[in-house]
Amino acid sequence: MLVQLIANGLANACLTALMATGFALIYNTTRIFHLAHGSVYVVAAYAYYAAAQYLHWPQFVAVTFAVAVGTFVGCAIELLAYSPLYRKQASTTIYLLTSFGLYIALINTVALLFGNEVRVFPTTQQSAVSLGPVLLTGIQLLEVATSIVVLAPLMILLRKSNWGRLIRAVRDNPTLASTTGVNLASVRRFVFAAGSALAGVAAVLAVLDVGADPQSGLPVLLIAIVAVIVGGIGSFGGPILGSMIVALLQSIAIWQISPKWSQAITFGILILFMIFRPTGLLGIRRRIEEVIE
Amino acid sequence: MTYVWHLGVMVSLYIAVALSLNLVIGESGLLSVCQAAFYGIGAYASTLLVMKAHWSFGASIIGTLVFASLSAICIGLPSLRLRGDYFVLATLGFQIILYSVLYNWADLTNGPNGIPGIPPPRVFGIELASPYRYCTASFAMAAVIGGFTLVIVRSPFGRLMQAVRDNEVAAASLGKNWLLVRLTAFAIGAGLTAVAGAFYAGYARYIDPTSFTVMESIFMVSIVVVGGAGNFRGPAVGAVVLVLLPEGLRFLQIPEAIAANLRQVVYGMALVLFMLFRPKGIAGKYGFD
Amino acid sequence: MDNAPLRCVGLTKSFGGHRVIDDLTVSFEPGKVTAIVGPNGAGKSTLFHLMTGFLRPDKGDIWKGRRRINGLRPFIVARMGIGRLFQDVRIFERLTLLENVLVGFPNQSGENPVWPFLLPHVVRRQEAAHLAAAERWLDLVGLGGRSSGSAEELSFGQRKLLAIARLLALGSEALLLDEPTSGVGRGMIDSLVALMKKLAREGRTVAVIEHNMSVVADCSDVMYFMDAGRVAAFGVPSEVLGNRSIRATYLGL
């Protein structure tokens, strides 16, 4: 029973890892707490649903469309909302309130267009595979496979490529980076695009698994944020580790206590980490300005 | 006419919430998104005290005040030490945990079924059975809470809250225990909102967890932000505008199904636009910088 | 006043591998103005951070008389009678000048939210007394006459004066002043020098970080020359400033 729970948790962990990595990419580099990331997820989910269900586009096109829409929305938010705030040197509170506002406006716009009910694809044959004592559906295997295929190269790129080095430089010290000629605006746009694309991928997988729900953005994002904090702020690999741990803890909680308390327990863990180990398990990087106070 | 009294009650309740939340968001500069949790604690605590423990309404108000303030102290002690984003996240976490408790601890709260049949409160011997009476009582409650917050803000403690908001390091260097100041503001804000929650329960005669969600917390924050934070006028104006405007939409014959979503879109966009162009809100003093 | 000397013994503090304070031993006596000078990055402000509890030393101790104060939280250190002027000033931007100074007064009954409700007349009386005193402090630093203006509108030098007025309201036995005269106009500098000497004569402990050598020569009784986290020289100003190697390295003479 526990093993099955863990296996289910693993599939969820992969979705969380995609969202968490996207969120962390944005937060580490820009220090913006991009709560509207949850609405990017929802918009991409419905883009996929509409493309596949209403427009009957082939799978590949629909998926690409959804990821593109997600990326577009994320970049639009950065361009139209966050950039002006950056120029005004707005406080974190203002960014947060703006992000909340965007989230609410976007998910309710989606609900206006598609309705508040959860939209699921008409049930197609769900193939299930047994690996030892565990039964996994085709979708769950797809989730695991996709996240590996997407995240592994990303991690390598972040560590080895030029872009990766630029991003890490901005993460560590944006002022220094900009004086050495790094174009902060392009780096910002890039991480928003990449992060939003990851949300798009997660959204498509989730729609295939459980359907599209306009209210799902915040819960999914919050679990991702827990993963980021547990795994380590400032680290790019941390969110992946965090996702695994959160999924594991949730499985244990479901097994030992009860599914209905799993959300409360997850947030309890978040709060404990924020109090006792705010930099998470892998993260240590903090900007110089943050050390003195 | 009943409709007017109904609006009067809703506006009064939200004015009370806005003024108490302003102590936290505006005067102390803390973005708390768990105010609906305290509203809910107020509603449930007073209802349970009246219906299960057979306390009078007045006594239940005091009990609610104390219980909510203590909860706020428990929540605030670990959270108020945290930096900006983390504090907001912590309050979000508590909001979700509290909703979970209201929803899942069915033995105490009746879970998703809610508590029906709440009796109308008896205040000074008068039973608040009619909408007119309730409107008058709520208005009086809002006035009392308003007066209370006014005295606090104008006192040296109010000045201290603002000083800690503006520069907690400087405040510490002057010997001020800024953590205690924030905790006190947080607890007072929670207690007063809980009182409003108690009045809500007595009015609605039925409460369930769905009235006390994250979205409701964000709505309460929007009232203070759009109306304006850091003074008396702002939050009051915010409550009036954000409660009455959607009612105004009703006259446009918009079907109920889309009205709710449309309202949220408007709130969301209002939040964004005000943050981008007018962070002090309609009539506020503090711009969250 | 019952004022005890401030002593730092063997202080060491590093940031990211870099030693900012290196086995530093300094003391500040009551009734004297002790100046601390040195090049940028010598660790002077960091010393004040350590002494006021904003930073913890890696090694060493800080004493006020017989009490060890390293590791105490900043507001507790302040309550023990150690007041501080920050180099980057730190006023309360959105409060008025008067309110800024009013916050400084210690032991205000009205700062406990219970008393304005239960004993309003007591609170009001105390406020009135503080109001009068605050106006006096503002006059002393030359900011009188604009007390109800917003602090946001002040220039850097004026903010510095406001912070000094606030510190005077606090009335602490020990005052750690980080560059009190930088940004301040010529006329006010002389007043500040006179003020510092007066505070010392009252028996207070005055420590001053300064870059303005004439101020140092004028008001300090003893001075430390710090470089790279250590004491390079100590003594009366004429000795230290007359020291040939100090003059060469720091003053470029």
Specify the DSSP class assigned to residue B207.
B
Smallest CA–CA distance, residue C80 to chain B, in Å, is 8
pLDDT score of A125: 57
Which residues from chain B sit within 8 angstroms of residue C111, using beta carbons?
156-157, 160, 176
Q: Which residue has the tokens 């490529």?
A: A161
Asked if residue B94 is part of any domain, the answer here is yes
Residue A3 confidence (pLDDT) above 90: no
pLDDT score of A284: 58
Inform me whether the C-beta atom of residue C13 falls under 8 Å from chain B C-beta atoms: no
**Residue B191 lies in domain:** 2-211
Q: Mind listing the pLDDT tens digit for each residue in A70-80?
A: 999 999 999 99
DSSP C187-242: HHHHHHHHHHHHHHHTT-EEEEE-S-HHHHHHH-SEEEEEETTEEEEEE-HHHHHH
Asked if residue B85 is part of any domain, the answer here is yes
Asked if residue B71 is part of any domain, the answer here is yes
Which residues from chain C sit within 8 angstroms of residue B152, using beta carbons?
113, 116
Residue B190 confidence (pLDDT) above 50: yes
What topology is assigned to C6-87+204-251 in CATH? Answer: Rossmann fold (3.40.50)
List Cβ neighbours of C65 (8 Å cut-off, separation of 6 or more): C4, C5
pLDDT score of A162: 86
CA atoms within 13 Å, Cβ hemisphere of C71: 7
Which of B157, B170, B173 has the CB atom closest to C111's CB atom? Answer: B157
Q: What is the mean pLDDT of chain B?
A: 93
- What average pLDDT does this structure show over B147-174? 96
Q: What ipTM describes this predicted complex?
A: 0.92
For the question of whether the overall pTM of this predicted structure is more than 0.80, the answer is yes
Q: What is the pLDDT along chain C (253 residues), one digit of tens a residue?
A: 668 899 999 999 998 888 999 999 999 999 999 999 988 888 899 999 999 999 999 999 999 999 999 889 999 999 999 999 999 999 999 999 999 999 999 999 999 999 999 999 999 999 999 999 999 999 999 898 888 899 999 999 999 999 999 999 999 999 999 999 988 888 889 999 999 999 999 999 999 999 888 899 999 999 999 988 899 889 998 888 888 777 777 666 5
Q: How far is CA C61 from the centre of its chain?
A: 20
- Which residues are paired to C103 by β-bridges? none
pLDDT score of C251: 64
Inform me whether the C-beta atom of residue B116 falls under 8 Å from chain A C-beta atoms: no
Please, are residues A70 and A47 in contact by the beta-carbon 8 Å criterion? Answer: yes
Please, are residues B235 and B282 in contact by the beta-carbon 8 Å criterion? Answer: no
Least confident of B45-59, B217-231, C227-241: C227-241
Greater model confidence, A119 or C117: C117
Please, are residues B175 and C78 in contact by the beta-carbon 8 Å criterion? Answer: yes
Asked if residue B77 is part of any domain, the answer here is yes
Asked if residue B286 is part of any domain, the answer here is no
Surface of B (94-113) touching A: CB under 8 A:
94, 96-97, 100-101, 103-104
- What average pLDDT does this structure show over A201-211? 92
Q: How far apart are CA A191 and CA A185, in angstroms?
A: 10
pLDDT score of C39: 87
Q: To probe the interface with B, which of C75, C121, C172 has the most B CB atoms within 10 Å?
A: C75
Are C108 and B156 a contacting pair at CB < 8 A? yes
Chain A residue with minimum CA distance to B268: A101
Are A96 and B85 a contacting pair at CB < 8 A? yes
Asked if residue B106 is part of any domain, the answer here is yes
How many residue pairs bridge chain A and chain B with CB atoms within 8 Å of each other? Answer: 120
Are B170 and C113 a contacting pair at CB < 8 A? no
Q: How far apart are CA C91 and CA C96, in angstroms?
A: 10
Residue A285 confidence (pLDDT) above 70: no
Query: What are the tokens at B102?
Result: 């209201």
pLDDT score of A129: 74
- What average pLDDT does this structure show over B161-185? 96
How many residue pairs bridge chain B and chain C with CB atoms within 8 Å of each other? Answer: 93
pLDDT score of B246: 83
pLDDT score of C252: 62
Which residues from chain B sit within 8 angstroms of residue C94, using beta carbons?
162, 165-166, 230, 285-286
Inform me whether the C-beta atom of residue C170 falls under 8 Å from chain B C-beta atoms: yes
Confidence of residue B237 (pLDDT cuts 50, 70, 90): very high
Are C78 and B174 a contacting pair at CB < 8 A? yes
Q: To probe the interface with B, which of C111, C125, C137, C166 has the most B CB atoms within 10 Å?
A: C111
pLDDT score of A124: 58
Are B288 and A94 a contacting pair at CB < 8 A? yes
Q: Mind listing the pLDDT tens digit for each residue in A9-32?
A: 888 899 999 999 999 999 999 999
Confidence of residue A123 (pLDDT cuts 50, 70, 90): low
Asked if residue B33 is part of any domain, the answer here is yes
Residue A31, classified by CB atoms within 10 Å of its CB into exposed (0-12), middle (13-18) or buried (19+), is middle
- Number of domains comprising chain B: 1
Q: Where are the alpha helices (DSSP H) in A115-237?
A: 138-160, 162-172, 174-179, 184-210, 217-231
pLDDT score of A290: 42
Are C95 and B159 a contacting pair at CB < 8 A? yes
